[in-house]
Each structure stands twice: as C-alpha cells, then as structure tokens.
Chains A and B, each alone.
Chain A
Amino acid sequence: MSRNTEVFVIGGGPAGLSAAYVAAKLGARTLLVDDSSRIGGQLIKQTHRFFGSSNRDAGIRGITIADKLQQDIKDVSDKLTVLENTAAVGFYHNKEAGILSHSAYERVSYQSAIVCTGATENSLAFENNDLPGIYGAGGVQTLMNVHGIRPGQKILMIGSGNIGLIVSYQLIQAGVEVVGLVEGSPAIGGYLVHASKIRRLGVPIYTSHTILKALGTDEVEGATICRVDEKFQPVPNTELDIKCDCICLAVGLTPLIDLFQQAHCRMVHVGELGGLVPLHDSSMRTTNPEVFVAGDASGIEEATTAILAGRIAGARAYESVHGKSPQAEEIVAEAREELRTLRSGSTGERIRWGRERVMKEVGEC
C-alpha cells in the first residue's frame, strides 16, 4: 500500500505536533506518524509548570500543554492525518519514505518532510551500570507518570541538569524517597529554583561527586559515590555508600539522527547541542532541501523551544509546497522573536553558542 501527502511529519512530540498543526492550518495536506500509542512525546509525562513567556505556555503544566496541542491538531483534522503506533523506518530516493505499523508496511510519497524524532537517553560508565534498578530519567517518568508505578522506594539521582532536578521532584510527588542527587561539576547544572525545591524537602545534593559503582548482585541495593577533583578524578578515601533500590540516570540526551543520515543530510557535531545534528538554516531546513528538522533532533533543548522551531518548520514546509505566504512569514517571524527572547540571558549561553555554530557552518555551505 502507499500513501501520498504534501507534508510528512515524523514524530508526535511538541515539535512534530506544532509543525503538523501549522502546515495543515496553512493548508497543506499533512501526514503525521508517531511510533508510540499516544501522541504528545515527553510532554505527557511533565507534571510541572513550564518556564518561558506567559504569552506562550509558561506557568502551565506540561501535561496541559500536551492536551492543548492535541486539541489543536483535532481542529485541522480535515487536512491532517495522524497515525499512531507507526514508525518511519527509512527514506528512499524520489521523495519516498517507508512507515511500519503493527499490521502493515507502507510507502509514503511526500513533497516536504519534517523530522522531529527527538532524542535518546545517555548512559554513564560505572561498575555494575547494567543492573536491574538502573533506569533512564525518561524511563522513570514513563513508569511513574504514564503508568502510575513507582520505580522503587528509595532512589539515587545522577545528574543535576533540569531533568535530574525536575524528575527528583516528581519522584517525591509520587511518594518515592530521593536519597541524594549526585553531580560531577562543582555547580548545579539546572535552574537553581528547581534545586532549592528538592533541597528544602530534604534531598542532599552532592556536587563535585560521582558514582563509582552500583551495589548488589542481581538488583540494585545501593551505590558507592565519591568526591571528584577539578579534573573530575575520584578523590581517594572519600567513598560513601548509600542505600537505595534504584538509580536514575539523568546524564543528558543525544539527538536521534538515523533518518537524517538516510536522507543524506550533512551532519555536524556540536557538543552544546548534544552531539551530531543535521546542519540546518534558520528556516529549520537541512542540506537536503526537502527535509526539515525541529525539536531535540536539531539539538537538545526543551519543549517550548521545540514548539517554536516546529512552527517555523511547519510554515516553511508549507511554503516549499505551495509557494510564499504572508501568513507563513508572520508565523516564522513571531516564532523567531520568541526563540531569541527565550535563549537570551546567562542560562541560554550554551544553546546560543551551539546554535551560532550551526548557523555559521550553514553560511559556509
């Protein structure tokens, strides 16, 4: 079987949903596929209120933003087809892609594709890091906030970025004791208000520390942590054993990029953005002119910026099928201005450096 669409969006997280909504709203026939049984991506697990501008979604819980995006796409259902439980498995020549669901493999021919595949969780090297009871932060959120099951009774969090801090708070809300949060750097990585929030509920924050090993033979029974020096090397005789039945790894994300490589997009390695990302311009167009990108796949950031980049990609993908449009231009201009504001200030520094590098390399293409 085969399908035909003007705009083909891969991934139903905040970036993909926003891209598909904008493309369809402007008038493009759009197909969105997502490999999970419930669209919304990671937003459906976010019980906390979002930062950002109140003009957009700040102060609203992630789960509520997911509901809003899902409502938006219902409003454009005459132009937009959504397929859940369907994975995009390959790009072929002549603007064709393959999609796979439980029941069938189909071909999709498209005019523009927007790839919003998100990211995958990083692991960390330490002794016994393969024991049952060691979970990624996303895995913990899925188990806890989607399926209503606690990962354990006592958990040790590794990583003090926003994800480590926020998931620690979510664990406390679910009734799990967070026995500590371990961070290799001397300073907390995420927003300090998130850190204070868990600290005043009694979670010890071990900065300049690392995990040496997980304790236990067949399951996690504890962890040994120790102090590290300025070069992140363990300081002898500073080991501390902590009892816990789970360890949560919140040590960063890596963009999911397989499809860009299949589509022959030029890739560039930018550490600030999480690793290899497809080179793209400020319209979110990759070096393959039919392929756009948005969200974590274009560089690890967060949901609000993913929504805005998705809106830009959706508007430009529409234009590449139907030609220039003043409404599309307006959406792009507005989203660009919001992105600029969100990324300003000292906490946006790393992202700004990363994105400037991508833009510079694009200019040199």
Chain B
Amino acid sequence: MLKHDGIISNEELKAVLPPPARLEKGPVAIIECLQDIPCDPCVSACPVKAIKMQEGITDKPRLEFDICTGCGLCVAKCPGLAIFIINLKHTPGMATVSMSHELLPIPEKGQEVTALDRAGKPVGKVKVVRVINPPAYDRTAVVTIEVPVDQVNNIRAIRV
C-alpha cells in the first residue's frame, strides 16, 4: 500500500486508470498522484487543458481522458515524476510506456535496458524506442520503452 511502502497497489491505481475504451484509442496519460499536495505545474503544462484541479492547488489532478492526446508534455514537468504515458496501440501485442528519467546514463534509442516494476524489481529486458531531452525539459529526459501489453501498468522505471 502506497503510504506504507511507496508502492501503489492495483486497488489504489484504479482511481487514475483510463477506461478500456480510451486505452483502445492510443496514447494517454496516467497521473499517479494520489495525495492532496500543493502542486499544479501539470495543469499549465497541458496544451489541450485536459488536466483540472477543482479545489485549488492542493486538489488532486483530474485528467479528462477523452481530451488528453497523450502528447507527453506534462511528463517532464511533474515535480513528483508521477506522470506516465501509455500506448496500447504501439504494435500488435506490444505497448509503450513513457517516463521521466533523471539518472545517468541517459539511454539511446534502440538500446536494451532493464525494466523495473513499482518496487524496483527487474522484470526483464526492454527496448528504448524514443528519448526526448530538449533544453526546455531542463535535464529531465522522457524515455519511451516498448513493453508487453500485460506489463504496461507494472513497469515504471528502467535501469540502463
């Protein structure tokens, strides 16, 4: 359970998961921010205004899944590194996960890296399909990896 060990349980995750119909349509954000913390950069980062906070900045961000295009601009802006983009429509049987990466080395496109679950346990080798690290991201790279579809909500970090 998140507050005891830092690991979001499947039960807790339900609150932020997009519905299956939306996942079928392609890339979408998952905002794994489950606590009322005073923080709002994701709201202004979203170019299509899909992220909302109703009761001021200590409200939890709410994502309008049908407005979200999965562009990923919010990922590097989140101080909690808690936003991921998942794309179930990558290739048949394979999905992608995009995540913030602030450790050295920064992997390269095509490189094989070790995928880690929410507890940091290795779950196998995966291929890096995209790395975005422009100056505007201010040293937070966004790395996209190719994962089996059933691992899309299990893999949350990489070891290069």
* Direct interface between A and B, CB < 8 A: yes
| Set B34, B77, B80: member contacting A197, Cβ < 8 A | B80
List of 7 A-B pairs having minimum Cβ-Cβ separation, nearest first:
A345-B58, A193-B80, A202-B120, A59-B41, A199-B6, A195-B6, A49-B79
B39 in the interface, Cβ–Cβ < 8 Å?
A: yes
| Set A50, A172, A175, A200: member contacting B156, Cβ < 8 A | A200
| Set A187, A196, A205, A341: member contacting B32, Cβ < 8 A | A196
A186 to B1, CA, bound (A): 11
| Set B59, B79, B103, B157: member contacting A345, Cβ < 8 A | B59
B79 near A199: Cβ-Cβ < 8 Å: no
| Set B56, B59, B82: member contacting A196, Cβ < 8 A | B82
B15 in the interface, Cβ–Cβ < 8 Å?
A: no
A188 near B37: Cβ-Cβ < 8 Å: no
Instruction: Apart from A203-B120, A345-B56, list 10 A-B contacts with CB within 8 A.
Output: A49-B79, A191-B35, A192-B35, A193-B32, A193-B37, A193-B79, A196-B118, A197-B80, A200-B119, A347-B36
* Interfacial chain A residues near B138, Cβ < 8 Å: 60-61, 64
Residue of B nearest to A344 (CB): B58
CB distance from B99 to the nearest CB of A (A): 9
A186 near B4: Cβ-Cβ < 8 Å: yes
B120 near A201: Cβ-Cβ < 8 Å: yes
* Interfacial chain B residues near A193, Cβ < 8 Å: 32-33, 35, 37, 78-82
CB distance from A349 to the nearest CB of B (A): 10
A207 in the interface, Cβ–Cβ < 8 Å?
A: yes
B7 near A50: Cβ-Cβ < 8 Å: no
Q: Can you give 21 contacting A-B residue pairs, CB < 8 Å?
A: A50-B79, A51-B79, A51-B80, A52-B39, A52-B57, A188-B4, A188-B6, A193-B81, A195-B6, A196-B2, A196-B118, A197-B80, A198-B6, A199-B5, A200-B120, A200-B157, A201-B120, A205-B6, A341-B58, A342-B57, A343-B38
For chain B, what secondary structure do more than half of its interface residues adopt (helix, strand, loop), or is it mixed? loop
Within 8 A of B (CB), among A19-54: 48-54
* Interfacial chain B residues near A205, Cβ < 8 Å: 4-6
CB distance from B82 to the nearest CB of A (A): 4
* Interfacial chain B residues near A192, Cβ < 8 Å: 2-3, 6, 34-35
A59 near B77: Cβ-Cβ < 8 Å: yes
Within 8 A of A (CB), among B52-70: 56-59
B43 in the interface, Cβ–Cβ < 8 Å?
A: yes
A203 to B103, CA, bound (A): 15
* Interfacial chain B residues near A59, Cβ < 8 Å: 41, 45, 77-79
With contacts A51-B79, A192-B6, A347-B58 taken as known, whether A200 is within 8 angstroms of B117 at the C-beta atoms is yes
A357 in the interface, Cβ–Cβ < 8 Å?
A: no
A173 in the interface, Cβ–Cβ < 8 Å?
A: yes
| Set A49, A172, A199: member contacting B7, Cβ < 8 A | A199
CB distance from B77 to the nearest CB of A (A): 5
Residue of A nearest to B43 (CB): A54
Count A/B pairs, Cβ under 8 Å.
134
A53 to B118, CA, bound (A): 28
B8 in the interface, Cβ–Cβ < 8 Å?
A: yes
Interface bits A332-358 vs B (CB < 8 Å: 1, else 0) = 000000000111111110000000000
Interface bits B130-160 vs A (CB < 8 Å: 1, else 0) = 0000000011100000000000000011000
A207 near B7: Cβ-Cβ < 8 Å: no
A163 to B36, CA, bound (A): 18
Residue of B nearest to A206 (CB): B5
B6 near A187: Cβ-Cβ < 8 Å: no
A347 to B121, CA, bound (A): 29
| Set A173, A194, A195, A342: member contacting B103, Cβ < 8 A | A173
With contacts A52-B57, A54-B40, A200-B120 taken as known, whether A187 is within 8 angstroms of B3 at the C-beta atoms is yes
* Interfacial chain B residues near A345, Cβ < 8 Å: 36-38, 56, 58-59
CB distance from A303 to the nearest CB of B (A): 13
With contacts A59-B77, A192-B35, A193-B33 taken as known, whether A201 is within 8 angstroms of B57 at the C-beta atoms is no
A348 near B38: Cβ-Cβ < 8 Å: yes
With contacts A61-B138, A173-B103, A193-B37 taken as known, whether A200 is within 8 angstroms of B79 at the C-beta atoms is no
A58 to B44, CA, bound (A): 11
Interface bits B97-126 vs A (CB < 8 Å: 1, else 0) = 000001110000000000011111100000
B4 near A202: Cβ-Cβ < 8 Å: no
A58 to B53, CA, bound (A): 15
With contacts A188-B4, A192-B6 taken as known, whether A58 is within 8 angstroms of B40 at the C-beta atoms is yes
B58 near A201: Cβ-Cβ < 8 Å: no
* Interfacial chain B residues near A195, Cβ < 8 Å: 2, 6
A52 to B56, CA, bound (A): 11
